[in-house]
């Protein structure tokens, strides 16, 4: 039942060519099906058909025409082997007859150039029929024969009509001895769903101004077909890209408590998402109705089946709709926390046999929840995160608390202190006095006479995690909710002579409320028992703030969310034959699908984020605030991000053009090498296609693309002065390099270490459920803290159900799929068409392989104490390549999970 609920109708109908042509059942045995099909566009090699005597070629024919053979390659779906004899039988029979009668596909060849009178040359048509499997037995082949007039000239496009009743996944079309290739990698709808033929262009790229005359109208027609008219509900087979606000996070028709504001617009600025056109709710006509899988994303944005089957949408959906309810049924008390740290440790097991669930719901999750063994004892067994495996006390150490701001899962928040005193920008009439309670005296006492505060500022020794102004407006609202609390926070750290950080002070603040004045308190590392436990609790609150900011801003907003408008604009305005479209294509795969799933069950009202993080129902409003106050496109490239946080300064003599403020900053050190490789690759690519600056400004597709990103996709910021111009090659290089960085390295840095760093939740609790013991305590509260401070800390941590739900989700989000496409690993087919581009990519690939070795070398260097030391997990999040699974390394091209 679960599979039927979440799987699209991806059926490719097996040909029924009479009894002698039925494909043998053994060909599609379960063992074969578990093997991954060839991944999408993994290299530039083409299938060799010579063994089957069907290699495409020209041959002279009678009269003034030539016979050309064409081969269509179709990827079968996993569904092919699962269709039973009763479901879809009529369609199978009809499609089998069409295959037998050579009516599977209708192809029309389009000449690249017009005839001598300026008219389009008559298209050459042929029907393709099924001829069998390729040599590996994994791809279907269809063959057609064209009679091409000798004066037809160069072929520029092919139009294809799918005569089956079901959609098909076309890998490519190859024509003639010259192997004219059309790399399709696309679902092609049935003519019964849409009579319009699909347009595919050859692998050669053209700027709009260089488009052959015979293809100009098709180029525009193909783009228009992707834009739609902004009306109606989208259908699953469609490929329509349009914009909408985030108006589908709430579920007011189910409960008034699940209503949420629309994100996007003047009140709650936000990037736009892809429009689905679902009907509005009856309770709130401004909110779009909720849905279950399958949900609409443009057809080619959907996960490949092997990705979906390995973990993707299927596994994450299973976690949310099978594992989580199972946990709910076991952990019946939703407010129950852990009674001891031993209780927490029982969640993990380094070995032991799997215990299958009676209902089989966990069978697709081999490492996620190893067993739900004994419901009476709540014995859940998860994989042990590497941080805990290497040092089970690492979460307790102040030095690790600081080190993870440089080499953990959220290295994007730490910044240099440049002004003193620390001041809030919030209205003091509403939030109380603006000056921080962290004083000069506190700092100099904690520094211990090493230097004065002024000297520390001058020598760039003070660093800050500052969540004060972003969180403080939510404190009173969050405190009205059950099971959570909140503060505004500042955490000050000092850079030691060894290049490591140590904490100096944590300030927690509460604004005035209900007649109570502003409350703020500064906590410092202490040598007395009471102070030491208060310090541990203050760290737990800061870590909950950092966890929320990481998921809602560093991760979701700055990668997933802001990228969706880039995808929509790219598909709407850059033709498939546009070189920039082909450069960005691998960086945009699957993102819309995972974003839709996030709206369905992660960031929605009552979803994982709201039920397990401190901000609860206000989580996405905070994300909107961060977008409004902090996000700037011109700060998203790594060097600009580091400079904006004071973590680097421009330096022409430095190897990357910038000098780091903290020399041993693992994320920045590895990231700058990867940024340089990405930018060098983009530079070679862009300068090849745009040798003169005026070509950038005169490219109408490119200009409309950039305009729509700024004014529609990110329309709430369209008037910001910091948007880059797009006039020269350097402008374009910086823009595309930034998009490539965000979708690959930035996302990897904040995503694939989540289970290692947060799978043991005391290291990164997602929520702080109770206030500090010294904030307006009753006598009973204070005595409870003094008598059993460990119990107070455990009560501050997430509940059992919150912790296990988050652990389950983080395990999936930290996984690489079997068909992961790592940056620079394999060449796109279109890139290999130009020798200069091919050479540039091979250089890019070589630099990434060198980076692997450099990172390994750095992780073995005892002088780099932020990445090498007893019990430390090596910093590998920006190593480009990885095996599948949870590895803590690997940089995919795109945001695919």
Catalytic pick from 162, 751, 763, 866? 751
Number of helical H runs and strand E runs in the chain: 32, 22
Contact 436, 423 (CB under 8 A): yes
Residue 369's SS3 state is strand
Closest listed residue to residue 714, CA positions, set 704, 702, 723: 723
Other Cβ atoms closer than 10 A to 594: 21
CA dist., res. 740 & res. 676, Å (int): 12
Q: Which residues contact 336 (CB under 8 A, 6 or more apart)?
A: 799, 800, 801
Contact 143, 128 (CB under 8 A): yes
SS3 content of the chain, % helix, strand, coil (to 5): 40, 15, 45
Q: Is 10 in the active site? A: no
Contact 170, 188 (CB under 8 A): yes
Q: Nearest-5° angle of CA 546, CA 550, CA 553?
A: 120
Instruction: Please give the DSSP secondary-structure letter assigned to residue 228.
Output: -
CA dist., res. 842 & res. 681, Å (int): 9
Catalytic pick from 189, 635, 746, 747? 747
Q: What backbone torsions phi and psi does residue 384 show, to the nearest 5 degrees?
A: -80, 120
Q: Cis bond leading into 294, ω under 30°?
A: yes
Q: Nearest-5° angle of CA 39, CA 43, CA 47?
A: 85
Q: Which DSSP helix (H) or strand (E) runs through 595?
A: helix 591-601
- Scored b (16 or more CB within 10 A) or e, 72-104 reads bbbbbbbbbbebeeeebeebbeebbebbbebeb
Instruction: Please give the DSSP secondary-structure letter assigned to residue 280.
Output: B
Give me 228's structure tokens: 């739609």
Q: Is 555 in the active site? A: yes
Q: Which residues contact 224 (CB under 8 A, 6 or more apart)?
A: none
As beta bridge partners, residue 170 has 74, 186
Q: Cis bond leading into 557, ω under 30°?
A: no
Q: Is 48 in the active site? A: no
Closest listed residue to residue 108, CA positions, set 133, 92, 91, 127: 127
Catalytic pick from 686, 733, 837, 897? 897
Closest listed residue to residue 775, CA positions, set 546, 543, 488: 488
Give me 639's structure tokens: 């060097």
Give, in order, the Cα–Cα distances in Å from 156 to each of 113, 570, 661, 688, 882: 8, 22, 53, 21, 38
Closest listed residue to residue 298, CA positions, set 317, 273, 319: 273
Residue 729's SS3 state is helix
Q: Is 747 in the active site? A: yes
As beta bridge partners, residue 480 has none
Contact 506, 488 (CB under 8 A): no
Contact 509, 453 (CB under 8 A): no
CA dist., res. 602 & res. 599, Å (int): 6
Catalytic pick from 560, 578, 587, 635? 560
CA dist., res. 491 & res. 443, Å (int): 12
Contact 414, 464 (CB under 8 A): yes
Contact 343, 310 (CB under 8 A): no
Q: What backbone torsions phi and psi does residue 819 show, to the nearest 5 degrees?
A: -105, 30
Phi and psi based region of residue 378 (left: phi greater than 0; alpha: psi -120 to 50; beta: remaining): left
C-alpha 479, offset from chain centre = 32
Contact 559, 598 (CB under 8 A): no
Catalytic pick from 541, 555, 635, 656? 555
Task: Report the chain's terminal Cα–Cα distance, integer Å.
Answer: 24
Which residues have a catalytic role annotated? 555, 560, 747, 751, 897
């Amino acid at each position: 039942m679960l599979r039927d609920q979440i799987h699209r109708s991806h059926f490719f109908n097996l040909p029924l060519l009479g009894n002698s042509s039925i494909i043998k059942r053994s060909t599609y045995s379960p063992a074969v099906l578990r093997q991954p099909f060839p991944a999408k566009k993994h290299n530039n090699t083409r299938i060799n058909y010579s063994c089957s005597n069907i290699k495409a070629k020209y041959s002279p024919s009678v009269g003034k025409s030539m016979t050309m053979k064409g081969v269509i390659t179709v990827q079968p779906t996993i569904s092919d082997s699962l269709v039973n004899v009763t479901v879809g039988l009529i369609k199978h029979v009809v499609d089998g007859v069409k295959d037998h009668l050579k009516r599977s596909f209708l192809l029309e060849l389009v000449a690249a150039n017009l005839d001598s009178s300026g008219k389009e040359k008559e298209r050459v048509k042929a029907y393709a029929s099924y001829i069998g499997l390729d040599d590996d037995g994994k791809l279907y082949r269809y063959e057609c024969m064209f009679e091409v007039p000798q004066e037809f000239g160069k072929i520029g496009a092919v139009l294809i009509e799918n005569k089956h009743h079901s959609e098909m996944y076309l890998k490519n079309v190859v024509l003639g001895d010259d192997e004219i290739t059309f790399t399709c990698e696309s679902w092609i709808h049935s003519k019964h769903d849409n009579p319009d033929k699909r347009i595919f262009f050859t692998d050669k790229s053209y700027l709009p101004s260089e488009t052959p005359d015979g293809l100009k109208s098709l180029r525009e027609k193909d783009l228009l077909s992707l834009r739609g008219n902004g009306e109606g509900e989208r259908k699953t087979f469609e490929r329509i890209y349009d914009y909408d606000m985030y108006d589908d996070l709430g579920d007011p028709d189910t409960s008034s408590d699940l209503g949420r504001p629309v994100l996007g617009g003047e009140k709650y600025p936000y990037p736009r998402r892809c429009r689905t056109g679902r009907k509005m709710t009856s309770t709130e006509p401004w909110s779009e109705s909720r849905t279950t899988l399958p949900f609409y994303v443009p057809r080619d944005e959907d996960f490949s089946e092997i990705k979906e089957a390995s973990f993707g949408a299927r596994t994450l959906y299973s976690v949310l709709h099978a594992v989580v309810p199972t946990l709910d049924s076991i952990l019946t008390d939703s407010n129950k926390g852990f009674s001891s740290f031993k209780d927490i440790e029982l969640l993990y097991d380094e070995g032991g046999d799997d215990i299958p669930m009676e209902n089989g719901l966990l069978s697709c999750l081999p490492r996620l929840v190893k067993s739900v063994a004994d419901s009476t004892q709540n014995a859940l067994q998860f994989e042990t995160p590497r941080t805990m495996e290497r040092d089970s006390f690492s979460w307790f150490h102040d030095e690790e608390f600081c080190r993870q701001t440089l080499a953990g899962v959220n290295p994007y928040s730490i910044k240099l202190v440049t002004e003193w005193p620390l001041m809030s920008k919030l209205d003091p009439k509403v939030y109380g006095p603006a000056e921080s309670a962290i004083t000069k005296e506190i700092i100099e006492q904690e520094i211990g006479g090493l230097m004065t505060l002024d000297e520390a500022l001058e020598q760039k020794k003070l660093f800050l995690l500052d969540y004060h102004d972003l969180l403080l407006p939510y404190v009173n609202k969050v405190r009205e909710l059950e099971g959570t609390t909140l503060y505004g926070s500042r955490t000050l750290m000092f850079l030691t002579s060894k290049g490591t950080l140590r904490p100096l002070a944590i300030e927690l603040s509460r604004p005035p409320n209900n007649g109570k004045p502003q409350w703020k308190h500064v906590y410092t590392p202490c040598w007395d028992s009471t102070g030491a436990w208060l310090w541990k609790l203050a760290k737990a609150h800061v870590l909950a703030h950092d966890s929320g900011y990481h998921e809602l801003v560093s991760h979701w907003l700055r990668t997933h969310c802001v990228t969706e408008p880039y995808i929509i604009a790219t598909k709407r305005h850059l033709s498939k034959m546009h070189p920039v479209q082909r450069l960005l294509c691998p960086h945009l795969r699957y993102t819309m699908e995972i974003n839709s799933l996030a709206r369905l069950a992660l960031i929605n009202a009552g979803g994982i984020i709201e039920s397990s993080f401190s901000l609860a129902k206000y989580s996405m409003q905070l994300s909107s605030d961060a977008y409004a106050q902090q996000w700037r496109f011109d700060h998203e490239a790594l060097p600009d991000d580091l400079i904006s946080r004071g973590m680097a300064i421009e330096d022409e003599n430095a190897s990357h053009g910038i000098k780091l403020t903290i020399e041993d900053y693992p994320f920045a050190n590895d990231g700058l090498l990867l940024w340089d490789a990405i930018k060098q690759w983009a530079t070679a690519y862009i300068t090849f296609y745009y040798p003169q600056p005026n070509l950038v400004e005169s490219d109408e597709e490119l200009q409309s693309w950039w305009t729509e990103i700024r004014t529609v996709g990110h329309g709430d910021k369209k008037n910001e002065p910091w948007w880059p111009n797009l006039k020269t090659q350097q402008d374009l290089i910086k823009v595309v390099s930034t998009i490539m960085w965000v979708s690959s390295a930035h996302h990897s840095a904040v995503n694939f270490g989540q289970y290692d760093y947060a799978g043991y939740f005391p290291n990164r609790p997602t929520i702080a459920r109770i206030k500090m013991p010294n904030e307006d305590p009753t006598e009973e509260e204070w005595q409870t803290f003094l008598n059993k401070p460990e119990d107070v800390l455990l009560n501050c941590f997430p509940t059992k159900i919150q912790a296990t739900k988050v652990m389950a989700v983080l395990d999936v989000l930290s996984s690489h799929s079997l068909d992961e496409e790592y940056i620079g690993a394999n060449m796109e087919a279109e890139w290999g068409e130009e020798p200069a581009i091919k050479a540039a990519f091979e250089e890019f690939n070589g630099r990434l392989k060198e980076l692997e070795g450099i990172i390994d070398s750095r992780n073995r260097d005892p002088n780099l104490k932020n990445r090498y030391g007893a019990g430390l997990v090596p910093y590998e999040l920006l190593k480009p390549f990885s095996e599948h699974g949870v590895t803590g390394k690997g940089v995919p091209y795109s945001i695919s999970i």
